[in-house]
């Protein structure tokens, strides 16, 4: 298992959290997405390392911007 952590500064509510969780969860190999609204951190567990481009694209689809930690 691989864990990837990054920030999504624009998230402010439950809807934001759900949108990011849903889109990132669609990436092949992702088994868990944990979004912490207080810290604006997203922790993704996957079966293999994920490409940064795939993560950025998924977060963009949710209407936000991913920022590397």
User: pLDDT per residue over 19-32, tens digit each?
Assistant: 999 999 999 999 99
Distance of alpha carbon 66 from alpha carbon 62, whole angstroms: 10
Per-residue exposure over 12-31, b if at least 16 CB sit within 10 Å of its own CB, e if not:
eeeebbebbbebbeebeebe
Can you give the pLDDT at residue 34? 98
Q: What band does 13 get if pLDDT is binned at 50, 70 and 90?
A: very high
Q: In CATH, what number is assigned to the domain containing residue 49?
A: 3.30.70.100
Q: Mind listing the pLDDT tens digit for each residue in 49-67?
A: 999 999 999 999 999 999 9
Determine how many CB atoms are found less than 10 A away from the CB of residue 33. 20
Structural domain boundaries, residue 28: 2-68
Can you give the pLDDT at residue 30? 98
For the chain, what is the domain count?
1
pLDDT (average), residues 38-51: 97
Distance of alpha carbon 48 from alpha carbon 40, whole angstroms: 23
Distance of alpha carbon 8 from alpha carbon 48, whole angstroms: 22
């Amino acid at each position: 298992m691989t864990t990837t952590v990054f920030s999504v500064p624009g998230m402010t509510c439950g809807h934001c959290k759900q949108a990011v969780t849903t889109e990132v969860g669609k990436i092949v190999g992702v088994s868990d997405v944990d979004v912490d609204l207080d810290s604006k951190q997203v922790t993704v567990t996957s079966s293999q390392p994920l490409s940064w481009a795939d993560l950025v694209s998924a977060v963009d689809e949710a209407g936000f911007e991913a920022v590397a930690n």
